Each structure stands twice: as C-alpha cells, then as structure tokens.
Structure 1
Amino acid sequence: MNAQIPIDKTSIQPAATPMMEQYHAIKAANPDSLLFYRMGDFYELFFNDAVIAAGVLGIALTKRGKHLGEDIPMCGVPMHAADDYLSKLIGRGHRVAVCDQIEDPAEAKKRGSKSVVARDVVRLVTPGTITEEKLLAPGEASYLMALGRAKGADAPFALAWIDISTGAFTVMDTTGDRLLADILRIEPRELIVPEPVFYDPELKPVFDVLGRVANPQPASQFDGAAAEGRITRYYDVATLDGFGSFSRPALSAIAGAIAYVEKTQKAERPPLARPCREDGGAAVFIDPATRGSLELTRTQSGSRDGSLIAAIDRTVTGAGARLLAERLTAPLTDANAINARLDSVSFFCAEGRLAETLRLALRDVPDLMRALTRLALHRGGPRDLGAIGSGLKAAQAIADLMNQATLPAELQAAVHGLQALPSIVADSLAAALDDSLPLLKRDGGFISKTHHAELDEMRALATESRQVIAAMERDLCEETGIRALKIRHNNVLGYYIEVSAGNSDALTNTPEAKARFIHRQTMANAMRFTTTELAGLETKIANAADRALTIELGLFDALVALVVEHAEAIRQAASALAVLDVSAALAALAASESYNRPHVDDSLDFCIEGGRHPVVEQALRRQNAPAFVMNDCDLSPEKSGQAGKIWLLTGPNMGGKSTFLRQNALITLMAQMGAFVPARSARIGVVDRLFSRVGASDDLARGRSTFMVEMVETAAILNQAGSRALVILDEIGRGTATFDGLSIAWAAVEYLHEKNRCRALFATHFHEMTALAQKLPRLANVTMRVKEWDGEVVFLHEVGKGAADRSYGVQVARLAGLPKSVVERARAVLAQLEAGATSGKATKLVDDLPLFSAALREPPKPAAVDALREAMGAINPDDLSPREALEALYRLKGLAGEKLAGEK
C-alpha cells in the first residue's frame, strides 16, 4: 500500500478490539506526532503513521485487522533498536510520541482475561528535545528555541534557547530587522512559535526561510501574564528576583520554552540552568547572507568539511567543540573580554608542556552534562554514572595540574569552578561502581564487590549455590558427627538433609535436635529432614537473582539522586573543562599553523600584515600545491578621529580577489572570538557588525533573480552598516546592463564613504570606478597583480597599490576549456570593443565580424602582410590631422580586405 490513508477524527469508529480503542484515544491526544505504540518488545505504528514511518525507515508495511471496512496499515520496530529508528525519523523532521506500558501485564490480567494493559505517552521526541547519545553529535549543540513577542516594546521580540542535553539556557531581546539573523546564528533544531505570531503575514518571510524548523504552538504556552508563575514553579523558587531583569517578550519566550519542555518530557524534569540573559550588542552582528558566504560552520553545500570550524577545531572533548562553535558564531565586541580570552591562549602557547599534559588529560573526560541530563530524566544507565565519576575524578586531577602555574583571569575562574566540586559525589561513585559497566541498568552487575553485604550474599547464592550448600553440609557433618550426612534436592521436597536410618538418632534423640531438624520423609534405608536455616537458604537461592537486581537498582537510584543533587556544581565543572579545552586547543592551532596574537582595541584600526586564508591555506597544503601567498590589508584611518578606509580592489578573474576579501573577514572574526590569527601581525579595532556580499545566488522560490538577491543584500548593508562595521563587497552591479551596474556600484561606494563611513573592501571589474580615488579621500585603489609571459597570463595572487586596466576574462575562458573558436572570436570582439569600434553601433560590429569568422579564417598569406606593412610604413602619424588619420585608417582597412580576398 503506497498511498497514505487519511484519518477523519470525526468519523473514527471504535475498532473491533479494546486495544485499538485504546490506540485511537491516545493518537487523538497526539495528532501531530507519529505514535510509537508499545506492544510487547516492539513499538508498533498504525494507519498513516505506519505508511509514513515505513517509507522513511525502509521497513515492511503490513496490516492488522480492519477499520471501517479497510485494512489497517501497520509496521513496527524492536524496542532495543528504537534509537536508531528515532534518529532517522527526527532527521526527517518528524515528531514521535512514545507510548509505553505503564503497568505490569500481570496486573492487567487481574481485571479480566480481556483487559488491556494500561498505556500512555511517556515522552514526545522532537528535533529540539533529544537526549540520547546515539542521536546527538558530540561536538554540536542541539537547541530548542522559543520566540516571544510583546507589541509596543522597544525590542518587540525575544529568543530563548535551551540545549536540553546539557541544560544550557539563554535568552536575548531582539528586533524584527535582525530576528532571522539571530535565529540562524543559534541554528536551532526546532523553533517553537505562538500560533498568532507564526501566522502573522509580516513574519512569513522569516518562517519561509526556516521551513520545518518552525513549529507553531498554542499561544497559552507563551502567556506573559502567567509566565512568571510557570518559571518559578519549574525552578521551585518563590520569585524571579534572583534571576535578573527580563523584558516582557523575554519572559514570554522563557515560559514558552519551559512549557514545551514540560509537554515533551511529561513527568520528567531536565536540570536546566537558570536563564542567562545575553546582550544583543555583546556579539558581532552577522546577517544570514554573510554567515553563509563566509562558511563559518558549514559550506554552502551543507558540509562541515571545508568550513572555518573544521579548519580551526583542535578540541579534544565534545563540550569543548561545542563551546568553540559558540564562540565562532558569536564573536565578542568587548575588547577587554576578547583580550581575556587571548591571554588564556597566550598562556598555553608559552606553557607548551603544560598544555600538552592538559590535552592528554582532557581526552579521557566524558561529556559530563549530557550524562547528567540523561540520568536526571531517568534515561541514563550505569555507564552514565561511570562517566560522571571518571569525569569528576579527571576534573580534580586537572585542577591540581593547573594550580602549579600562575594563571590568567579566565583560566583562574575555570580552575576555581573545578575546585568547587564536592568530593562526596566522586568518592561515592568510585566506591560503588564496578570497573566494567553494562549499558542498561536492568542487566545488573554494575555495583562493585564488597560495597553492599547483602548484595554480595545474593550474588553468591545466585551464582555459587552449590558451594553455599556444600559449606552448610560440611558444617552439619561436623556439628552432628555424621560423616555420611548429605544435603540433596528434588522437585518435590526441594532442599533436604538425608542420613541413613542408623544415623537418624543423632537428629532426634534430644528435644533440641527434634526442634531443629524437622522430619520430612522416611525411606527404606534413610530419613530426610530440613531446618529453618536450610528452608530459608532455599528461598534465598530461589529469589537471589531477583533480589540482587532489586538491590542494585535501589543503589543506582540513590547514586542518581546524589548526582542530581549536585547538578549545578557538575555543570560548573563541565563548563570549566570546556574553557580549558578551547584555550589549549587554540594554542595548539596557533603552534601548528604559525598563527599570531592579534592586537584588539576600541579604535577604528584595521591593519593586517601577511594575512592568509585559514581554510584555503590548509587545502593547498593537503594538495601539495604551492604555498599560500600572504597579503597585507590596511583600512586604518589616516588620523585619529577619522573614519576607516575603503579599498577598491580591481584585478583579473582567478586572481584571488574573493579569497582576499574573505580572509580579512575571517581574520576579524577569529580575533574577536579570542583566537590567534593567520597573519604575521594584526591590529583590529573592534568590529560590531560584519557584512559580506561575495558570490552570486538566486532565490527562485521567492521570485528573486540573482541580481535581485544581490540588490536586497546590498540594500541591507547600506541601511545597517555603521562606522564600526566591516563591509566586504564583491562585484556589485554585475548582474545587469553594464552602465546600470557601473552606476549602482559607483553610487554604493560613494554612500559607504560618505554615509556609512565604515571600513570596507570593495572588489569590482568596473575599472572606471578607480577614478573615484581622486574624489573620495578615504578610498584607495589596489589590485591583484598578474604577469604576462609568452602570451600567457600568470596570476601572482598578490595585492598591490594601483588599478588593473583589464580583467583577463578571455584568458580565463581559455583556461576553463572553452572551444578554441569561441576564444578566438572573443579576442576579436574584445579588440574591436576596446578600440571603440562600436561607439554604440552594434550592427556594424556584427557586419564587420561575422560569427566565428575570426576563428575560422586562415592566417593571411605573406604577400598580403607585406603590402600592408608597406602602406603603413608610408604613413607618418605625427603629420596627420584627425580627419586625415581617420581616412588613412579606412584606406588601410580597405587594402587589408582587398589583399585578403585576393589571396583566398
């Protein structure tokens, strides 16, 4: 069955079985989710859910019974492999309601043989609320974001985002013009939006870009009036006074996020940190087009390989990798905070041996926060407890290691966070847990020997019952003096003591013996007895395995409660370890790639000497290609108090203009995230907004051509860039007619110079624009240098002062493999155009140069060439008036035509 079967909720009739009645009731309460309905050891899906899941998962679609006269589609997945199937469904944007059995089947049977086991949804699995280790990338955050809105506010929107797997919780006020940029900076897996906001026509362009990431939710979840109460109940506090000050839209977003967590996690409560307010101006503003153009975390094809994060990531822990990505996507704008981070990197650069020892220790640190969250949500196992124990032990050792040196402020704070860990958690876990831990707690065997006396006894009874019985038998032999006494077992009597008839008197001749040894059976030659000790031992042996597991599960719950009780201290330790990892990793990057510390301050300086593109440089090295060519860039003001410079960059295609533009933007971001940079030196005054318009793309879904997209992005830059912005523009105006494009580019440069007054790099092929340097005092002409050799062009990839006189497009076309006839025709047309032959007379050009005639015509014969040379030699250009010169040119042209025709 290939077609989906729609379910009309108003027409659903009770199925033939009570179980299907139960299914319909649960499904009706969760209409927007695929329902994983527990049946034995499988999760089953029915109706449309089955059709959808079978297609996504590639599993067989079967049927079970009938509904309204039609077969009911069904498919299922085994419980033990459910995570793998959930991963595929979540990856395709589906939401899954996990419906489990909430009572023992034996209890259901007590109500009658046809009673249905009670079931209910225990969890909603959505893209933004996953916690399973298999479903999470270690080095990537998994954010659930909520959008709050309050009309009439200065900043009418707010975003609150949670990584439920780690408990991180942040909130930020924003405005409509930067809403999409702020959302894309965080890259949430799921964005929940109040339904009235989701269907607001003014915000439709935002949600069109986000697609299935945006998820409308009832407005009641975001109710500002009830927000404070929802938040205080979740954190079990009386007031929000200790949380800081939040705007109305921020409270709405926080409440919406918490409501969704409660809705999806049901009875469980993840250990969320208190919401931390982020100042919208604390990070460099990077619009979506710039973020995509610079390929910070993924290339424009969606791959991590080839991105900046892939080139600079040297972290050794998942938490460190996530923190590095967070810093890269939100570089700071506070020079003091930037330099505090740079101090940490400088420390590890100077203390190379300490840094390497630290990195070796960090390699063994597990993901503390994700393990803690799974335990708090009762989805963790013994290995998560083991991860917490080993992580805390490593944290203490790292704190002792770092205390051997004098640390900069950021590292001091991190080590202080490690030292605040209570030893009781690590000590308790080390004492209780075995060295070898199973994945699931139900498997048992994770509590170490000698930790719990009764558990040791039960394990001994369960696994060593023969030895226990033999030991009791030896004790009884010594006590009674009957060497032939045996303890035996059968299915009727269970365990019993057997002696010969002649030795039975020893067990019955005194009142004490009769009281202790209870007669069970008389045989022809033997008598059988039992004792209360033996009967008790028999019961213990029969129940030993179950009792042992019960004891272990109780100890597991106690350890989980201890860990969750100290969740905040563990969170601080995990954050501290991530900071140490990132700082040491950036130092390792600097050492391996020869990066240097930038000088960052509050000036408008921008001077980079010997800059390189971090991604391209590594790619060239992997290909054993020539070394990357370093270039300088100086956009610093001439004098204090002046605005920064604009460089107008001309030069050939393939000369390296785009690489040069991007590398300066990337160096800026790396410097302000607190990393060393690929340059001999860099002096950067803090950039508050970065705009990059490099490359061409269209947006056909929204009816936008490549040129329209270019103009929209250029308009955003010109309307938003201020004096502290850095603007990177490439080939503005190339998507329309030549004079239209030149006019737009010309006006844009003037506007950047006079109105925006920002530091900017503007690359163009409109060589006419170089004349602007005579008019605009802060504009300088620079060019990508080339060298011609034997008719070939050599790209030097060097930036120097001056302006290019041509773009070498025909040479690039030849290198690209265009047919020789096309290249030759292009050369001929270019020569005519450059000579001004057309002067607006395109028809004459067509007549004079019929298609491919220049390419297909055979070379002129020597006689024709000699005749032309003689005619030209008779002309003295200095003696000719303009009119005479024009007439002479026509004579030569006519002679060339006659001679060529005669030679054919």
Structure 2
Amino acid sequence: MMAQYLEIKADYPDALLFYRMGDFYEMFFDDAVAAAEALDIALTKRGKHEGTEIPMCGVPHHAAEGYFLTLIRKGFRVAVCEQMETPAEAKKRGYKAVVKREVVRLVTPGTLTEDSLLDARRHNFLAAFVQVRDEAALAWADISTGGFHVMPVTPLRLGAELARLAPSELLIPEGSEPELAEIVSDMGVPMTPLSRGSFDSTSAERRVSALFKTNSLAAYGTFTRPEIGALGAIVDYLELTQKGKLPLLRPPVRESAGGTMQIDAATRRNLELTQALSGGKTGSLLATIDRTVTAGGARLLERRVSSPSMNLDTIQARLDAVSYFFEDRALTQNLCDALKRVPDLDRALSRLSLDRGGPRDLAAIRNGLAQAEQIVTQTQREGLPPLLRESLQCLEGHEDLVDLLDQALIAEPPLLARDGGFIAAGFDGDLDESRTLRDEGRGVIAEMQAKYSAQTGIQSLKIKHNNVLGYFIETTAKHADAMMSAPLSETFIHRQTTANQVRFTTVELSEMETKILNAGNRALEIEKALFERLRQAVLAKTGPVGAASKALAEFDLSAALANLAVEENWVRPTVNDSRDFHIEGGRHPVVEAALRQQGGQPFVANDCDLSGGEKSSIWLLTGPNMAGKSTFLRQNALIALIAQIGSFVPATTARIGLVSQLFSRVGASDDLARGRSTFMVEMVETAAILNQADDRALVILDEIGRGTATYDGLSIAWATLEHLHEVNKSRALFATHYHEMTALSEKLDHVDNATVAVKEWEGEVIFLHEVRKGAADRSYGVQVAQLAGLPPAVVNRAREVLNQLEKNEREGPAQKALIDDLPLFAASPLPQPAAQKGPSEVDALLDGIHPDELSPREALQKLYELKEAREK
C-alpha cells in the first residue's frame, strides 16, 4: 500500500495527497505534518519507511469538503485519490492485492464547485494571463457557473483588471513569475505556473475547439494569438485538475478593453466597491445596495458594480428595465415572491456536468424552470422594455424538461444518488416492482420473527441484520441451549456466540435474505441508472437552461434596483455622451444607510456641477477636517458608477456624461512590505492618475501632498491641479488644506472654489456638511483636536502657537519670531475652580427636593427658593 501511495504522490509533489482508505482520507510523511498543523488535527505514526516512523493523519471522507476549504484558504492544493474498486474485487486478483486507487480531482482555489466551498452570491474566477511579443491577453472562467471570457490587456492594465475580477487563481507561463509577482501580489491572487506549451496558440485553438465541438473558434469571434493562448491554458488546466471531466463552459465571449469603466485597484479599495476597508463585505457599496433575492442576481450585481458599462445603449436598456419595475409595484412584488423560490441553476448545472451532482441538483433545475414558467404567465408583454422582453423569451419552452423531472423526482430528494429513494413511485415499472419486493420482504421478516418466537416459546427472540452476518436470529444465552438441542436444532443453525447473545440462522431465513438483498440492490441500481438518464436529459438542454438562468438573474437585478430606488428615494439619471456632470441633492448611499442605522440622523445632500464648457470642470474643495469633504468626493464618484451600472442614483437630479475612467486618491497607508512610506504610496497613486486619466475621466483627489513638508506638499498639489486642468482635462474634485491654492481659480479657466460650511458658536465649531461655492478661511484644526479629546493644556498651547504663526504671517518676515521663543506651556494654565468646603446652599436645597411628591404650588415655591439661594 505504501509503495502505491509513494508512486501516486510522485505525480503530485506540490499537492497534499488525500489517499482514500475505507471511510477516511489519510495523509502520510510531509503531507501529514503540514495538514495536521493546518487543520489542527492529531498527528500519529504508522509503520516505518527506511527505518523512520511514518507520520500520518486523516479526516473522514464525508466531512472532507470542510477540510478542503480550510486548506485552500491557507494556500494548499489537494489531490483527491479515490479507491477505484472494492476490497472484494481486489482480492479476486490475489489475496494480497492492493485496492486500485487513482487521483480523480485536483482541488485548487479556482476550480471549486461545491456549494459548501463557495459564496453563492459571488463568482469564483480562474484566470490566465499570457504575453506574446507586444500583445497580451487575460482570460477567465467560473466553472461553477460556466462563464468564459477573454480580453486584450496590457501588463500596465493587468493589475486593474485583476482588481475588477478578483480571481481566486491566476495561471501564468513558467518563468514569468518574477515580472508579474509585484502586480499580482498587490491583488493577493495565488499564481500557478504552467508549461509554456499550455499557452501555445496553435495547440490551444485545437483544445478549445474540441471542447465546443467546432472546427475553429471563428464562430465565436476573432481572437488574437494571446487570447487563444489564455483560453487554451484554462481548458488545459481544467483537464488536468478535473481528470477529463470538463465543466460545462459556455462559448468564449470577447470583451473589448474600452467596454467598461476603467477603475484601478487603489480606487476600488478607496471607494469600497465590493469590500470594505475593514475587510469583509459589510459596509461596502455592494452590500448596501444589494436587494437581490437569487444567487444569480447577486452575482450579476457584483459584476455590474465591478464593471460599469461604457455602452450608452446598454445603460439605457438597463435603466428602462428598472423604470418598468419602479412604476409597477404590484408586478414587482409578485415577481420577487416567485424569484425567492428560484434555486441556483448555474451551479446545479455545473455540478451535473462534472458528475458531482445529485438528485437535489436535478430538483433545483426542475424548481427553477417551474418558477420561470410562473413568471412568464404573470408578466404582460405589452409595454415590456426590450431587455426584459428578450429575457422573457428565454424563460419559455422548458415544459418538456420540467414535466420529465416533475414526474421522475419526489418533492424533496436526498443529497446523494447512492442514498436512493429519490425517484417517484409510478415513474418506472421495474423500480416499483423491486421496491415492492424489498418492502414486502421486510414485512415477511417480521412475520418470520413472530413464527420463530411462537415455535421456540422465546418471546425475546429477534431477527436482526448487520453488514457482516446479514439477517440472523438473536436470543439470550439463557435460551440458547434449548435452540441448540433437538428438535429445535434441526431448524436453527448456530452462527455466532457473543458475550451475552447467541445468533442462529435457518435455511428459510437465508433464502429470504437473498431475495430481499437482491431486490434492494436492484432498486438502487435502477435509481442510479434513472439518475444518469435524467442528468443527460438536463445536459442536453444546457443552452436553454443556461439562458433561462441568465434571464432570471436579469429580472431579479432589475426588480432589486427598482425596490432600492423606491426604498431610498433614488431617481433615474440622464446618461449621455457629453461631458456633463450635474448632480443636485447628491447623497452617499453607504454613509446615509449607516446614519439611519445609528439613530435616524439625516444625511445632508449636496450639489455638484463639473460640466465644463462655460462652467468649471474642477472644484477645489477647502474646509475643516470632519466637515464631510471626503464623503462629498466619494459620493459623486459613486453616483457616476451607479448610473453606469444601469441603476437609479441617490440624488434629486442627475445628468452624467459617460465616465471612461474613475480615479480616487483618498486616504493612504504605508506599504512596509515594499519599503514604501505613506507619502510614497500617495505619490505612486497620484502618478498613475496623471499618467492615465483622459478627458472623460472623473478624478477625486484628497489632501495631495500632506505627507511631506508644507512647501513641498503645496508645490506638488499645485502642480498636480495644473496638470489635471491643462493636460488631462478631466472632470475632478480636489480637496485640500492648502488655502493658498484657492488663488488658482483666478488663474485657471475651469477651476472653481468650493467649501464645506461650518459655524462657530461660543468657541466651538459646528459642522453643517453643506458644500458651497467659495473658499474656507480657516481649517479649524485646533477645534477638531479639542473635539477629539486632546488634553486642555495641549489645545491651549496649540492655539497660542497658531496665533503667533498667523501674526507673523500678517506682519511679514521682518517681524517673524521663532516658535522656540514661546516657552513651552508658558501661557498661564486655565484657573481651576476652587475646591469647595462643602455643598452650596443651592445643592442642599436640591438634595431635599423630591419632584414626584411636589404639588404644582410647592414646585413653584421651591423654584423661588432656589433662585434666591443662587443670588446670595
């Protein structure tokens, strides 16, 4: 056995080998040591190899999926080695023959299909990148849903596309790890090197064509050599990991580089599109706006948020669909009720294609298509927008498959086909006959037990069954002697004696056992054959079922966005091909939702106009910290993004010209792993914006230059704003504390000053969160520091230093004094209230008052007494 193990392990040196032994997967040697630590399970020893004890650990096969997930998340790959025959079959080849075993699957992050290992509301992409001379391409597939895509991409844009897709695994040619390591490590995507032959475009085209049973890929579009190579690498890797059982991939779709809004990794992170800065989905834009009720609809929303469209017709078609449901609330409610009962068709279909499915996956197909039929009957075709009309057509024509599955399956089938009992009575005559014999046999066993009990006079006699003896008669040792003596010994044959029981059989019982076992096994074999027939019937309708699943997701998302618009009072934006950017009453969806959860504090809406022309296309925003500058910047970027996914937006009015690129440099942290300071990270992100932004981009910049000396920072911020205005010509929001920059509004034609209003009241600052035209005269940093709880002595000292600096600035360089001339804490400390020797007269009066016991007249009298005591 160990020789067999070592031979198989030699073919998978980079994976943990899960070696099936009966009901367990066992691991040995270094695999056992690594797995025991990663899974926190016991490490034992078994036998010796070359004089050294062999480390060993194991996990139950029925719970293996949970262990797979833990190992995958910790960076391991798992080779699943199964027994290909029973021990009984192996013994036919010789007494010491080892059971045949083979690796049936390689489990990697990008090839998961089980529901328990995946987030139903997110895609799980396997991607491949290859560069051929001056061209490069990125392909990606989700084998759990069948999506298969490719696009041209430059190495410069690779990071942004990986951030958009967030793949679980990236395939690359061997030897390209060093040049791609920095880009890919930023995304946290594990790389898997493959031989360069996997990316060869000639063999790749044959491989992909064979998968789709075509002579060439011309039927699906025109692909470049790198694109074909990337597609072929994914297919080659799937053949390797799935051991020939290829998933049900849809024909490849070529995406154009300019088809979606370009959003780099830093911007996605700063805007918290699909993941919050704190980690996890909660607090992200996606979590805030998700009202979908199906897994397919949720994945579609994630794709839209990650990839806002640049196609005006597509955006308008999506907006028309949302408007339709926005206006017909009764239809929308009925639709959502039906959609809540729609299972995940895509993943059920994928598991069936990989032969990892079970009866519940067949039931999922049946139930999903049945709900599709219901949606068709309750939806009026008149007035239906084109997008929904096309989707509705995909929901029709599944009656034959639904009828077949409905007749064949029980209402709630078991998870596994080997459990049996999932085929409905009356569907197959042979199965019904075998079941009858099996079930009646159980009744016969009960009759035989009563008969033998009467014959022997032993009331405690039982007929039982186990996998070793089969059916047997069991009685206590006290009664065994009578059964082993004549005349009973002629009928009852002794089989086994245990500590407290003695077991017998009879010729009659053995014959009945054979009939019952044969009937039960035959029934199970018939069910397995029927399952395969039904599986093939579903796979024969892969195209229509996949189209229905896509249509259901489209209905779900359109209805969900309509519900969101109604609940949150969002409006339909006007999206056009101009450079408009006119928002009235704009709001930040995530912050508004958070305020509501915290107690209903209203969000202060603000306008923004960056339309250019005679108006400004850049706003220079000043104002104190905590006033809402960053929120204002982010909300306008999010409004543009939300509009281009085809949704209503959080505003009173919105007119938006297509935004080709979205750039955000808001906040920063250091990158110690690469030796980058916070300021360096900020400069790298700013450089990316200035080098890439075009005239249709929307740029939001916050506090450029704050991480270095004042004059250095001011110079960089000044030059950056000029470059955006003169060279990039982008629409932009630029927040700063350098008030000197407000002078640029007089120098640059399309720059306007704006400020976040505050109000001072008795030495304290009150944030109004209102954005107005004009410039701030102060930053109110000391007041914010006081609100944050700095010690009073520090706040007083800060005010003193600030006053001196402002005085020096007014009086000119000749009168400037060194701050060092101001002795630290030289200002007299604030007088402390004198300690009182005892309670005041007012305190004494208050202590003696019990409001619940006072009449109105007595309360008035006490008030006079308190006033008189205070005046003393």
Partner of residue 148, structure 1: 130
1:845 alignment partner, one of 818, 822, 831: 818
2:366 alignment partner, one of 378, 386, 389: 389
SS at 1:728 equivalent: strand
Partner of residue 366, structure 1: 343
Is 1:666 aligned to 2:648, yes or no?
no
Render the CA deviation track for 1:403-451: whole Å, top value 9, x for unaligned: 4542101101111111143x22111100000123111111110001111
SS at 2:82 equivalent: strand
Cα deviation, residue 70, structure 1: 2.0
SS at 1:636 equivalent: coil
1:61 alignment partner, one of 29, 32, 43: 43
Render the CA deviation track for 1:792-828: whole Å, top value 9, x for unaligned: 1100000001000110000011111111111111000
Who wins on radius of gyration, i.e. which is larger? 1
When residues 304 and 840 of structure 1 are mapped into structure 2, their CA distance, relative to the original with a 3 A threshold, is farther
Is 1:454 aligned to 2:424, yes or no?
no
Partner of residue 421, structure 2: 445
Q: Tell me how far apart the structure 2 counterparts of residues 737 and 410 of structure 1 sit (CA, whole Å).
A: 55
Render the CA deviation track for 1:38-83: whole Å, top value 9, x for unaligned: 0010001111211111112111111111223222111100011111
Is 1:561 aligned to 2:545, yes or no?
no
Deviates more, 1:204-213 or 1:253-262: 204-213
When residues 211 and 360 of structure 1 are mapped into structure 2, their CA distance, relative to the original with a 3 A threshold, is closer
Count of residues in Structure 1 that have an aligned counterpart in Structure 2: 782
Cα deviation, residue 375, structure 1: 1.1
Contact kept, 8 Å, 1:644 with 1:758, in 2: the verdict is no
Render the CA deviation track for 1:519-567: whole Å, top value 9, x for unaligned: xxxx9xx9xxxxxxx9999854341100100010000010001111111
Deviates more, 1:104-113 or 1:301-310: 104-113
Contact kept, 8 Å, 1:418 with 1:573, in 2: the verdict is yes
Cα deviation, residue 733, structure 1: 0.7
Partner of residue 177, structure 2: 198
Partner of residue 286, structure 1: 263
1:320 alignment partner, one of 293, 297, 321: 297
Contact kept, 8 Å, 2:801 with 2:819, in 1: the verdict is no
Alignment of 1:206-355 (within 5 A): 206-211=183-188, 213-355=190-332
Cα deviation, residue 402, structure 1: 1.9
Is 1:789 aligned to 2:789, yes or no?
no
Is 1:551 aligned to 2:523, yes or no?
no
Cα deviation, residue 760, structure 1: 0.5
Q: Tell me how far apart the structure 1 counterparts of residues 187 and 513 of structure 2 sit (CA, whole Å).
A: 66
Render the CA deviation track for 1:130-164: whole Å, top value 9, x for unaligned: 00110111101111001121113xxx211111100
1:854 alignment partner, one of 814, 820, 827: 827
When residues 20 and 835 of structure 1 are mapped into structure 2, their CA distance, relative to the original with a 3 A threshold, is same
Partner of residue 802, structure 1: 774
SS at 2:818 equivalent: helix
Cα deviation, residue 855, structure 1: 5.6
Q: Gaps (5+ residues) in structure 2?
A: 448-462, 466-470, 472-487, 492-508, 833-872
Q: Gaps (5+ residues) in structure 1?
A: 1-18, 472-488, 495-522, 527-533, 860-904
Letter in 2 for 1:812: V
Render the CA deviation track for 1:561-596: whole Å, top value 9, x for unaligned: 111111111100000000000000000000000000
Partner of residue 749, structure 1: 721
Letter in 1 for 2:392: V
Letter in 1 for 2:154: T
Letter in 1 for 2:670: D
Q: Tell me how far apart the structure 1 counterparts of residues 384 and 170 of structure 2 sit (CA, whole Å).
A: 40
Letter in 2 for 1:849: L
When residues 54 and 536 of structure 1 are mapped into structure 2, their CA distance, relative to the original with a 3 A threshold, is closer
SS at 1:196 equivalent: coil
Partner of residue 128, structure 1: 110
Cα deviation, residue 209, structure 1: 1.8
Cα deviation, residue 275, structure 1: 0.6
Percentage of identical aligned residues: 57
Cα deviation, residue 844, structure 1: 4.3
Q: Tell me how far apart the structure 2 counterparts of residues 387 and 160 of structure 1 sit (CA, whole Å).
A: 29
Deviates more, 1:104-113 or 1:771-780: 104-113
When residues 622 and 377 of structure 1 are mapped into structure 2, their CA distance, relative to the original with a 3 A threshold, is same
SS at 2:268 equivalent: helix
Cα deviation, residue 208, structure 1: 3.0
Contact kept, 8 Å, 1:637 with 1:645, in 2: the verdict is yes
Partner of residue 83, structure 1: 65
Letter in 2 for 1:298: Q
Partner of residue 898, structure 1: none
Q: Tell me how far apart the structure 2 counterparts of residues 351 and 224 of structure 1 sit (CA, whole Å).
A: 51
Q: Tell me how far apart the structure 2 counterparts of residues 469 and 713 of structure 1 sit (CA, whole Å).
A: 79
Is 1:118 aligned to 2:100, yes or no?
yes
Partner of residue 546, structure 2: 571
Letter in 2 for 1:546: N
Is 1:648 aligned to 2:623, yes or no?
no
2:733 alignment partner, one of 757, 761, 765: 761
Letter in 1 for 2:33: V
Is 1:633 aligned to 2:605, yes or no?
no
Cα deviation, residue 225, structure 1: 2.3
Cα deviation, residue 215, structure 1: 1.6
Partner of residue 668, structure 2: 696
Give the TM-score normalised by the residue count of structure 1: 0.84
Q: Tell me how far apart the structure 1 counterparts of residues 444 and 681 of structure 2 sit (CA, whole Å).
A: 82
When residues 753 and 490 of structure 1 are mapped into structure 2, their CA distance, relative to the original with a 3 A threshold, is closer
Render the CA deviation track for 1:617-670: whole Å, top value 9, x for unaligned: 00000001420000000001234xxx9610000000100000000000000000
Letter in 2 for 1:675: S
Partner of residue 179, structure 1: 158
Contact kept, 8 Å, 1:689 with 1:726, in 2: the verdict is yes
Q: Tell me how far apart the structure 2 counterparts of residues 398 and 349 of structure 1 sit (CA, whole Å).
A: 17
Alignment of 1:14-25 (within 5 A): 19-25=1-7
When residues 855 and 444 of structure 1 are mapped into structure 2, their CA distance, relative to the original with a 3 A threshold, is farther
Render the CA deviation track for 1:321-375: whole Å, top value 9, x for unaligned: 0000100110011112111100000000011110110000000000001011111
1:830 alignment partner, one of 795, 798, 802: 802
Contact kept, 8 Å, 2:167 with 2:189, in 1: the verdict is no
When residues 59 and 835 of structure 1 are mapped into structure 2, their CA distance, relative to the original with a 3 A threshold, is same
Partner of residue 821, structure 1: 793
Deviates more, 1:178-187 or 1:101-110: 101-110
Q: Tell me how far apart the structure 2 counterparts of residues 59 and 88 of structure 1 sit (CA, whole Å).
A: 12
SS at 1:796 equivalent: strand
Render the CA deviation track for 1:379-414: whole Å, top value 9, x for unaligned: 111111111111111111112222454210110111
Cα deviation, residue 723, structure 1: 0.8
Cα deviation, residue 26, structure 1: 0.8
When residues 104 and 212 of structure 1 are mapped into structure 2, their CA distance, relative to the original with a 3 A threshold, is same
Deviates more, 1:462-471 or 1:307-316: 462-471
Is 1:716 aligned to 2:693, yes or no?
no
RMSD after superposition: 2.6
1:410 alignment partner, one of 387, 407, 428: 387
When residues 707 and 376 of structure 1 are mapped into structure 2, their CA distance, relative to the original with a 3 A threshold, is same
SS at 1:419 equivalent: coil
